[in-house]
Amino acid sequence: MSIDDDIALLARVPALNLLGMAALQVLAIGAEQRDLGHGDKLFHYGDIADAGYVVRRGSFRITSGEGEREVIAGPGELIGELALMVEMRRPATAIALEPSTVVRVSRTLYQRVLESHPEAARRVRDDLEARTNAATAAIARLAAKLS
């Protein structure tokens, strides 16, 4: 795949698109492609989380550590967004459901991009603030219903 293809893929991800084209170009140049076969683990619950993955092709079953929750991630989806921002362990296991390809964006690369593109960092901060406020409001509404 070309750099232009990688930029287009990253731009389809809302959390990455808000960085802007200049930052996406840097991410695309520094990102790595990884191919997995059916049943291969992208990562396992408890692994050190040092990157996020954008699904280029295929799909992944993501199962919480307790196995209680399961989601399927497909093309254009970002797996492990929080790992781009903070040191943590994986809260889930991701397994390829078919031959799949991901673009790996390391936390180090992502943070360098934010440092060198302050306007992108501001947009990320604003987006996180909006999503946190929405989650807090949803929790408050739920708490009110349970009272």
Average pLDDT estimate for 43-71: 93
Rounded to two decimals, the pTM is: 0.88
Cα 69–74–80 angle (5° rounding)? Answer: 60
Give the start-to-end residue ranges of the domains of the chain: 3-146
Highest CATH level, class, for 3-146:
mainly beta
Cα(8)–Cα(129) distance, integer angstroms = 26
How does pLDDT run across 78-104, given as a tens digit for each residue? 999 999 999 999 999 999 999 999 999
Q: What is the pLDDT of residue 68?
A: 77
Quick one: three-class SS letters along the chain? CCHHHHHHHHHCCHHHHCCCHHHHHHHHHHCEEEEECCCCEEECCCCEECEEEEEEECCEEEEECCCCCEEEECCCCEECHHHHCCCEECCEEEEECCCEEEEEEEHHHHHHHHHHCHHHHHHHHHHHHHHHHHHHHHHHHHHHHHC
Q: pLDDT of 126-137, one tens digit each?
A: 999 999 998 998
